[in-house]
Amino acid sequence: MAEPEEASSQRLTRRGFFAVTGLTACAMATAGAGVVFLDFLRPRVLFEPPTAFSVGRPEEIEIGSVVTNVEHRVYVMRLAEGFRALSAVCTHLGCITRHQPELGLIACPCHGSKFTLAGDVVAGPAPRPLRWLQMSLSEKGELIVDTAVEVPAGTTYRF
């Protein structure tokens, strides 16, 4: 028995609808998997700022002075025997210390640790001295401090 023409066209439309829906679902799933795959291929790299930086020219730092580089959290000192660089990060819980020229000390505002200008612990809960950092002279004649390279305490540099 032949179906009426209108019912036949509805069945085709329904079939077409399911076909389009199915193809759309497959396309979306494939696109989603493609996005995840491309994200998987992207390198997971952390771009951190360089650890070595300039603190200026040697002649800009007077003998006997302590220069605090707040951005990089270091002290650069010029003594009669040469330059030294110390980390300003407290060895207790990582607070940023402050140079107190009136006391001739470096003090931590968090829990009261105190350090000499050589980084040795004088008071407080800090378990270790401040870190001494590597210094070098760039081709432009600028002092370079590298916070990633620790040097033995007492290391001074003559430039």
Q: Which residues bind ligand FES (CB under 6 A)?
A: 90, 92-93, 95, 108, 110-113, 124-126
Instruction: Determine the Cα–Cα distance for residues 76 and 58; give it in Å rounded to an integer.
Output: 10
Q: What's the closest the beta carbon of residue 83 comes to ligand FES, in angstroms?
A: 25
Provide the 3-class DSSP secondary structure of residue 111. coil
Beta bridge partners of 83: 78, 157
> Nearer Cβ to ligand FES, position 52 or 121?
121
Minimum CB separation of residue 112 from ligand FES in Å reads 6
- Report how far residue 75's alpha carbon sits from residue 88's, in angstroms, rounded to the nearest whole number: 6
Minimal distance, residue 110 CB to ligand FES, in Å: 4
Q: Which is nearer to ligand FES, 14 or 111 (CB)?
A: 111
- Whose Cβ is closer to ligand FES: residue 85's or residue 126's? 126
Closest of 75, 84, 91, 73 to residue 128, by C-alpha: 91
Residue 79 CB, shortest distance to ligand FES, in Å, is 25
Q: Judge whether 152 and 75 are in contact, CB under 8 Å.
A: no
| Nearest to ligand FES of 82, 124 (CB atom) | 124
Pairing state between β 52-54 and 66-69: unpaired
Helix (H) or strand (E) holding 52: strand 52-54
